[in-house]
């Protein structure tokens, strides 16, 4: 069956929130596990959708992944500068991995960024352990931008996020 990438609607919010939360939990990406404050943010797709564009990857009637696309200057941006869009919270259900869902979501974000007037780059943050994602980003033309690496919790050592950028043509 084909995967369709579309804007997430209210009926997608709960399943996409669970997919995102479960992906981060099951992959060991939350330093504080079930007690991690970020878990609530991952589940709150409605809040993200009110501040950015949330895309859903759908197979048949089932949501299998999603991503938050933050156009230039959006309130959900962590690292985007003027003229940049940002990709956040990319997640694919474990059962749908390895089938191109993540790639389709990243490509959809790049396409949306190209349609934003004045947008010249797409940026993102990723954890050091997300090696499969790093390979995907690099295959799609993203390059590491180590000078932009950052720590979302400065009071906690060793949570540095790696950054990547794709220059749009």
Residue 44 predicted with pLDDT over 80? yes
How does pLDDT run across 2-22, given as a tens digit for each residue? 999 999 999 999 999 999 999
What is the pTM assigned to this prediction?
0.94
> Per residue, what are the HEC states of 81-104?
CCCEEEEEEEEECHHHCCCCHHHH
Predicted pLDDT of residue 169 = 80
Tell me the C-alpha to C-alpha distance, in Å, between residue 97 and each of 18, 19, 57, 58: 16, 12, 12, 13
For residue 109, which of 27, 164, 50 has the smallest C-alpha distance?
A: 164
Residue 100 predicted with pLDDT over 90? yes
| Residue 157 confidence class, pLDDT cut points 50, 70, 90 | low
């Amino acid at each position: 069956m084909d995967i369709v990438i579309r804007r997430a609607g209210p009926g997608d919010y709960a399943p996409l929130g669970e997919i995102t939360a479960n992906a981060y939990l099951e992959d060991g990406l939350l330093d504080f596990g079930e007690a991690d404050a970020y878990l609530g943010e991952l589940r709150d797709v409605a809040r993200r959708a009110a501040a950015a564009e949330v895309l859903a990857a759908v197979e048949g009637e089932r949501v299998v992944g999603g991503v938050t696309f933050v156009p230039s200057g959006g309130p959900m941006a962590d690292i985007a500068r003027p003229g940049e869009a940002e990709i956040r919270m990319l997640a694919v259900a474990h059962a749908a991995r390895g089938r191109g869902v993540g790639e389709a979501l990243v490509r959809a974000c790049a396409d949306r960024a190209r349609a934003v007037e004045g947008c010249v780059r797409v940026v993102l943050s990723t954890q050091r352990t997300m090696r499969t994602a790093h390979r995907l980003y690099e295959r799609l033309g993203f390059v590491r931008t180590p000078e932009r690496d950052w720590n979302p919790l400065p009071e906690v050592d060793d949570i540095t996020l790696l950054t990547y950028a794709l220059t749009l043509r």
